Amino acid sequence: MKNKKAVVLLSGGLDSTTVMAIARANGYEIYGLSFRYGQRHAMELEAARRVARAFNAIEHMIMDVDLAKIGGSALTGDNQVPKNRDEGEMKKEIPVTYVPARNTIFLAHALAWAEVLGASEIFLGVNAIDYSGYPDCRPQYIAAFEQMANLATKAGVEGKTRVKIRTPLIHMTKADIIRKGIELGVDYGMTHSCYDPSPEGMPCGRCDSCLLREKGFREAGITDPVTLVR
Amino acid sequence: MKNKKAVVLLSGGLDSTTVMAIARANGYEIYGLSFRYGQRHAMELEAARRVARAFNAIEHMIMDVDLAKIGGSALTGDNQVPKNRDEGEMKKEIPVTYVPARNTIFLAHALAWAEVLGASEIFLGVNAIDYSGYPDCRPQYIAAFEQMANLATKAGVEGKTRVKIRTPLIHMTKADIIRKGIELGVDYGMTHSCYDPSPEGMPCGRCDSCLLREKGFREAGITDPVTLVR
């Protein structure tokens, strides 16, 4: 396992930070990959920088992807971010915060970088339990991406190492994720989850992402360090 | 078929121009999608603009994707473009002009736009016969992308229209492609194929792309209008 390289997709949120901790604990050399994609707030990228430094990433690349030009999502400015929804409402339909094909675009960039680096693993913090109903967070999507990826690149032609898409959180509850992170020494105070923070960077406490985070900490019986500083 | 929308990936080269002509002849409303991806020459995008206009595209979107930051290809500046190779050499191994995961990144953007537009088709000019040995031009790659795409988006969850990846040239020789284009009235004088043009935009005549184009016109028994103006 020594010196194996992994590209870790890093939003700076709770899930991707835990994934980076898991990859690090498994002995991978970390290459963090984040995106400036027209999201409403730059707080995410600040959090991603802090996290990449904390886990001694060999490199942290921030790529520009102009998803706002394509549109179709509340996260890139087309709609209001919904507030105060209960879990039933969250799971009923795909929410307006869904960004069309976002994980596919992010994973495609990770695949390109992994091929150039010779990295055999791409880590991604998707979750199919406590999630907002996005189609590109489901296990069958991840399996299909991995299959496609190994036909897309030199790996598929010259018999080189295949790339694996690792999603260690996919079957965990938010509380399990937080417990795992705490066990690995993650300081969740450096993460940012809110879809719609105040101009000063304070979480709104009412969007799906804030509500799922709150529920996770409550169920884990742990105090969220981010709410402490609020 | 009337008023059906199609996203057409358009490089401004011979293949993607023929694909756009085919999509148009089949009655699709055309949404052209091109990329500024750190390629050495801007000629490609000029050609793409001419072609999109010629086929009355409803919209022609040019997106920025920073593949040069990822590196790993002669087309984005990492190596010399190879010259004067015969077909045996071209097919022996994946050439340095291969751009890691390029088609996956391009198709991922097309998928996002198709979802926002409600387009059921994505057209792509890949070719598995007279080609440069790129892994992401093979039929099995395209099939895997289509399968992944329909799990990635709302189509895969809410039973909406599935997206289809159309590759009408995939089993055609370069000569067949040119004959088909001429039959549909394509003016190949507006296209650009060279990987390494002069500062004035003249094709080098010796890179894989120029050589495959020359062979295609020769075998089709047609004079290339681009060589006429040289």
- Would you say A32 and A59 are in contact if contact means Cβ atoms under 8 Å apart? yes
In contact, B197 and B41? CB cutoff 8 Å: yes
Contact between residue B52 and residue B32 where contact means Cβ atoms under 8 Å apart: yes
- Percent of chain B at pLDDT above 70? 90
Provide the residue count of chain B: 230
Least confident of A112-126, A193-207, B48-62, B177-191: A193-207
Work out the burial of residue B42: count CB atoms within 10 Å of its CB; fewer than 13 is exposed, 13-18 middle, 19 or more buried. Answer: exposed
pLDDT higher than 80, residue B80: no
A1 falls in which pLDDT band (50, 70, 90)?
A: very low
Mean pLDDT of A3-31: 95
| The pLDDT of residue A81 | 77
What stretch of H or E contains A44?
helix A43-54
Report the 10 Å Cβ neighbour count for A66.
15
Phi, psi angle pair for A133, to nearest 5°: 80, 25
Number of H helices, E strands in chain B: 10, 5
Task: Give the number of other CB atoms < 10 A from CB of residue B139.
Answer: 13
**Token pair for residue A129?**
């339990």
**Cβ(B120)–Cβ(B154) under 8 Å?**
no
* Contacts with A, B 84-113, CB within 8 Å: 93-94, 98-105, 107-109, 111-113
Residues 6+ apart with CB under 8 A from A143: none
| pLDDT at B78 (0 to 100) | 62
pLDDT tens profile B134-178? 888 899 999 999 999 999 988 766 666 689 999 999 999 999 999
Q: Is B219 exposed, middle or buried (0-12, 13-18, 19+ CB in 10 A)?
A: middle
Which residue of chain B comes nearest to A143, CA vs CA? B148
Residues within 8 A of A (CB atoms), B 110-139 only: 111-113, 115-116, 133, 135-136, 138
Rounded to the nearest integer, the mean pLDDT of chain A is 88
Separation of alpha carbons B161 and B155, rounded Å? 6
Q: Cite the beta strand spans of chain B per DSSP E.
A: 5-9, 29-36, 59-64, 121-123, 164-166
Average pLDDT of the residues in B190-201: 87
pLDDT number for residue A61: 96
Q: Which CATH superfamily is domain B5-228 in?
A: HUPs (3.40.50.620)
pTM of the model: 0.91
CA distance B184 to A5: 49
Please state the domain extents for chain A. 5-229
CB pairs under 8 A between A and B: 149
CATH code for residues A5-229: 3.40.50.620
pLDDT tens for A118-145 read 999 999 999 887 666 788 889 999 999 9
Question: Residue A66: what pLDDT?
Answer: 85
Higher pLDDT, A89 or B31: B31
- As a whole number, mean pLDDT of residues B86-109 equals 83
- pLDDT band for A230, please (50, 70, 90 cuts): very low
The residue of chain A with its CA nearest to that of B156 is: A135
Residue A35 to residue A51: CA distance in whole angstroms: 14
Nearest CA distance, B31 vs chain A (angstrom): 12
**How much is the pLDDT for A155?**
72
Summarize pLDDT for B36-65 with one digit per residue, the tens.
987 767 788 999 999 999 999 999 999 999
CB-based contact B124:B19 (threshold 8 Å): yes
Chain B residues inside the 8 Å CB shell of A69: 61, 63
Pairing of strands A164-166, A121-123: parallel
On the question of pLDDT at A200 being above 50, the answer is yes
Res. A79 pLDDT band, cuts 50 70 90: low
A218-228: string of b/e by CB count within 10 Å (b at 16+)? eebeeebebee
Residue A176, both tokens: 């399990």
Query: What distance in Å separates residue B124's CA from the closest CA in chain A?
Result: 15
Q: Which token pair is A172?
A: 């965990």
Cβ <8 Å between A108 and B101: yes
Q: Residue with structure tokens 């898991």? A: A22
Tens-digit pLDDT profile for residues A32-44: 999 998 776 778 8
- DSSP assignments along B47-113, one per residue: HHHHHHHHTT-SEEEEEEB-HHHH---GGGTSSPPPBS--HHHHHHS--TT--TTHHHHHHHHHHHH
**What CA–CA distances, in Å, run from A58 to A23, A31, A33, A111, A112?**
13, 6, 11, 17, 17
The interface residues of chain B toward chain A in range 155-184, judged by CB-CB distance below 8 A, are: 156-158
- What does the longest C-alpha to C-alpha distance in chain B come to? 53
Of A138, A152, A158, the CB nearest to B103: A152
Query: CA-CA distance, B155 to A147, in Å (whole number)?
Result: 20
Residue A87 tokens read as: 């879990």
**In this predicted model, which residue has the larger pLDDT, A131 or A11?**
A11
